[in-house]
Amino acid sequence: MGKYADAFDRSISDREAFWLEAAQGVDWVTPPTRALDDSNAPLYRWFPGGELNTSVNALDRHVAAGRGDQAALIWDSAMVGTVRTYTYSQLLDEVSRFAGVLSAQGVTKGDRVIVYMPMIPEAAIAMLACARIGAVHSVVFGGFAAPELATRIDDAQPVALVTASGGIEPGRNIEYLPMAAKAIELSEFPPTTVIVKDREQVAGSAADFDGWLDWDAEMAVAAPADAVTVAATDPLYVLYTSGTTGKPKGVVRDNGGHAVAMTWSMGNVYDIKAGDVFWAASDVGWVVGHSYIVYAPLLSGATTVMYEGKPVGTPDAGAFWRVVADHKVSALFTAPTAIRAIRKADPEAAELAKYDVSTMHTLFAAGERLDPDTYEWATEVLGVPVVDHWWQTETGWAIAANLRGLEPMPLKAGSPTVRVPGYQVEILDAGGAQVTDGSEGNIVIKLPLPPGTLAGLWRDDDRYRTSYLSAFDGYYLTGDSGYIDADGYVFVLGRSDDVINVAGHRLSTGGIEAVVASHPAVAECAVIGIHDDLKGQRPSGYVVLKSGVEIEPDTLRSELVKMVRDEIGAVATFRDVTVVAALPKTRSGKILRKTMRQIADNEEYTVPSTIEDRSVLDALAEQLGGK
């Protein structure tokens, strides 16, 4: 039996021993004697009786081990042309002092603190400072509009809001303070303390608002705060994700299970050890930023890179490769959208040739499906494994992955490889019966979920049950559809609501997208199901062409129709192809398929708060004649 198979089997058949062993990678004030508390199933808790502090595990213990002079955090801002490095000792000092700032304002264990900041070091410092004193942070993506921020304030009911004067993007600055002030005005439960980090490049400061505090002034007089011991089951953070009712769902992450899972995953999934340099090209406002910019690399004693910039345009399509070369990055983790953007702007990888990226042993992708064409391009130009892996905000770390540090496995295009230890993934049909190998169905995870996954929704256990646990008894519903092949490889085809019904035939839009994306002229694409009077629904494709490619729309359409017919069959009735300048996406890179479907069907739609560029959506609506 291989290392992976042994680890997976033990994680399911003897989870107590497996996870207590994994827990030895964490420093405990009171070590746990049990792994799982199932006394209130299906609401499970990990490491009952254990006590620790996450900030101590991320910082203090590495300094105590003699590695205080090692780089902990490298901030690289392409927007302001600045690189700043914090050693473990320096980061510990910053975190301890900001924890002192919060304590001086009366923030104590269990209080909530909203962090509404751009990609600057102070965002990570604020998160770790909350963890240090046992406060619960809730990071809201910087630049969210005031009503969205107000909704999160009223759900979390924070005692403090930590923000900055604004964010910087190519060609524009985003002023946060007017939005923060408006959100507080709209809130039923406004915070009593607001702390502002002033950025000289963006207008606005704490002095513009009555009673608001300046970060630098408070830090100058702050006394460092000691770490507060918390229970393993105490919440570390609440992270809001979109909900079907319009009210965001507050995913709760605990301290103990999170620390164990993050530490275990860095070595076993990403093959990152203490002293290695890891770069997750995401944002602290998303779960990837929480898990793999801030917590996991530091818990593991690695160096983490925080990047303020874009994959292209800051200044060019070589931006990512420059960061890898400058900081000797061991592994890069990004979204497929970023890879596609680089490929679209630089299909021959001419910019890549300018940099020495030989330190990078793996490129990891997640956040959306890594289509085979993008996978093959990145593999060819980089010459390193390009590893798709699949997880969710709710899980906090990978459900399916190629475990590079445990036992690297052969890669299959279109698959995030195998089930990660602890995740008993199964495929069920609509009636709850397991399907045969290779058959598509609902991807579910048999309970209990492993450590590090959501402990529930903030103050809403009923919604947790109805949203995730009620569809199939004893299972967590991922909301995705897919299949597991005879080799045990997981294939995620898309959200369950991205399965369309064409004349009684259920078809995955993800499967059709994979075919369309393989056309040599296509940079990226989206396939949605639109209304059809005869067949109920039919697939409609929207494609962005690669830079410099010229092809007649009718030629492209006929070639794509033939490809889909050859690969999927005439049953798909694929005949609609629209060339667009860009696809509307969220700031985390997900294509807004639901909104596109509403536009195409000429339905009323609401512009999502997470949209990256409103003008892209407006252009699409005008092109399609939507409302």
CATH number at residue 235: 3.40.50.12780
Is there a single domain that holds both residue 443 and residue 518? no
Residue 381, in any domain of the structure: no
pLDDT at 227: 98
Provide the domain count of the chain. 2
Residue 463, in any domain of the structure: yes
pLDDT at 147: 83
Residue 372, in any domain of the structure: no
Is there a single domain that holds both residue 156 and residue 232? yes
Of 454, 482, 510, the last residue of a domain is 482
pLDDT at 505: 54
Nearest residue to 255 (alpha-carbon basis) of 53, 456, 392, 34: 53
For the chain, residues with pLDDT lower than 70 are 1, 143, 242-246, 495-508, 533-536, 569-571, 588, 626-627
Residue 426, in any domain of the structure: yes
pLDDT at 627: 41
Helix axes of 509-517 and 372-382: crossing angle, nearest 10 degrees? 40
Residue 189, in any domain of the structure: yes
The string over 472-492, giving b where at least 16 C-beta atoms fall within 10 Å of a residue's C-beta and e elsewhere, is beebbbbbbbbbbeeeebbbb
Residue 340, in any domain of the structure: no
pLDDT at 120: 98
Is there a single domain that holds both residue 610 and residue 558? yes
Is there a single domain that holds both residue 528 and residue 569? yes
pLDDT at 535: 66
Is there a single domain that holds both residue 212 and residue 270? yes
- Tokens 């770069």 map to which residue? 279
pLDDT at 37: 98
Is there a single domain that holds both residue 465 and residue 527? no
Helix axes of 146-156 and 177-186: crossing angle, nearest 10 degrees? 50
571: domain CATH number is 3.30.300.30
For the stretch 319-370, pLDDT in tens is 999 999 999 999 999 988 899 889 989 999 999 999 999 999 999 999 877 8
pLDDT at 499: 63
Residue 361, in any domain of the structure: no
Residue 296 in tokens: 């996991």
For the stretch 512-532, pLDDT in tens is 888 898 999 999 999 988 887
Q: What is the pTM of this model?
A: 0.85
Angstrom distance (rounded) from CA 604 to CA 618: 13
For the stretch 145-191, pLDDT in tens is 888 899 999 999 999 999 999 999 898 899 999 999 999 999 999 99
Is there a single domain that holds both residue 409 and residue 436? yes
Is there a single domain that holds both residue 61 and residue 144? yes
pLDDT at 405: 97
- DSSP state at residue 584: -
The string over 97-121, giving b where at least 16 C-beta atoms fall within 10 Å of a residue's C-beta and e elsewhere, is bbbbbbbebebeeebbbbbbbbbbb
Is there a single domain that holds both residue 466 and residue 543? no
Q: Tell me the average pLDDT of the chain.
A: 92
Domain that holds residue 305: 3-309+389-482
Is there a single domain that holds both residue 223 and residue 111? yes
Is there a single domain that holds both residue 159 and residue 272? yes
Residue 249 in tokens: 């769902």
Residue 341, in any domain of the structure: no
For the stretch 498-511, pLDDT in tens is 666 665 455 667 77
Adjacent-strand bridge partners of 172:
169
Angstrom distance (rounded) from CA 80 to CA 103: 32
Of 457, 482, 507, the last residue of a domain is 482
Of 449, 482, 515, the last residue of a domain is 482
